[in-house]
Amino acid sequence: SQQGEEDPQALSIQEGENATMNCSYKTSINNLQWYRQNSGRGLVHLILIRSNEREKHSGRLRVTLDTSKKSSSLLITASRAADTASYFCATDWAGGGADGLTFGKGTHLIIQP
Amino acid sequence: ETGVTQSPTHLIKTRGQQVTLRCSSQSGHNTVSWYQQALGQGPQFIFQYYREEENGRGNFPPRFSGLQFPNYSSELNVNALELDDSALYLCASSPGLVRHRTDTQYFGPGTRLTVL
């Protein structure tokens, strides 16, 4: 089963606008990561935020983490056509053992030129 | 480019057959993980290897098995293929600095397996 859930499932915006997608998860985590996937190919790591961090920036990306609500958001500012992709949040469970990452179903983002 | 490669790119098999998928990790990465991604879904964790030992396993039956080699290559083997095994199979490597923590994963492009 998949722990994370991204919201919305699909998002279509105009180039230049900001895109916000949300992620909710269920258990305690070590970290939360966001990945991008273009057309069913490999995933590209975007940003990692640890459980003791609340906000992180990387270029046009801003990620927030609220561990009390078990939620995260990814903001992409000044979107470009090349940002069209599926975006996944993934969590690393803090319960011990190596369980890899648990992914949600993703948000499919379409940037209209 | 993540420096992680997978082969083959595409594969078609028949139900009941066996398949071996291969991955070459980044040099120096101790950990390799394998994921299965069905169409329209997020990746699901199959198992992880740390320094050639299985380090954790997801909810997959024993007919999914793996190996990790000292040269940073690894294999995913699936026996007795079923139609539902049709998916994109992704391997991901990471430095593995902390054994039971999964930090940034560097994914390969995947192998698209179709079972007929």
Find out whether B48 and B105 touch, Cβ atoms under 8 Å.
no
pLDDT at A17: 97
Q: Which residues of B touch A98 (CB under 8 A)?
A: 48, 50, 55-56, 99-100, 102
Q: Is the pLDDT of residue A1 over 50?
A: no
Residue range A40-69: average pLDDT?
A: 94
CA atoms within 13 A on the CB side of B85: 27
Q: How many angstroms separate the most distant Cα atoms in chain A?
A: 45
pLDDT at B30: 85
Cβ-proximal residues to B111 (8 Å cutoff; 6+ apart), any chain: B6, B7, B8, B9, B10, B11, B21, B88, B89
**Chains A, B: CB contacts under 8 A, how many?**
86
Find out whether B40 and B24 touch, Cβ atoms under 8 Å.
no
pLDDT tens-place string over residues B72-82:
899 999 999 99
Residue B85 structure tokens: 């095994």
**What percentage of chain A has pLDDT greater than the value 70?**
91
Q: Is the pLDDT of residue B2 over 80?
A: no
**C-beta atoms of B44 and A2 within 8 A:** yes
Cα A72 from Cα A95, distance rounded (Å):
19
A51 has a chain B CB within 8 A of its CB: no
State residue A59 phi and psi, 5-degree precision: 60, -120
Mean pLDDT taken over chain A: 91
pLDDT at A41: 83
**C-beta atoms of A100 and B40 within 8 A:** no
Structure-token match 């992409």, residue found: A76
pLDDT tens-place string over residues B5-43:
999 999 999 999 999 999 999 888 888 999 999 999 999
- Asked if residue B43 has a cis previous peptide bond (ω within 30° of 0), the answer is no
pLDDT tens-place string over residues A33-45:
999 999 878 899 9
Interface test with B, best of A2, A30, A43, A86 (most B CBs within 10 A): A43
Residue B76 structure tokens: 């995913």
By the 10 Å C-beta count (0-12 exposed, 13-18 middle, 19+ buried), A7 is classed as middle
Q: Which residues of A touch B7 (CB under 8 A)?
A: none
**C-beta atoms of A43 and B55 within 8 A:** no
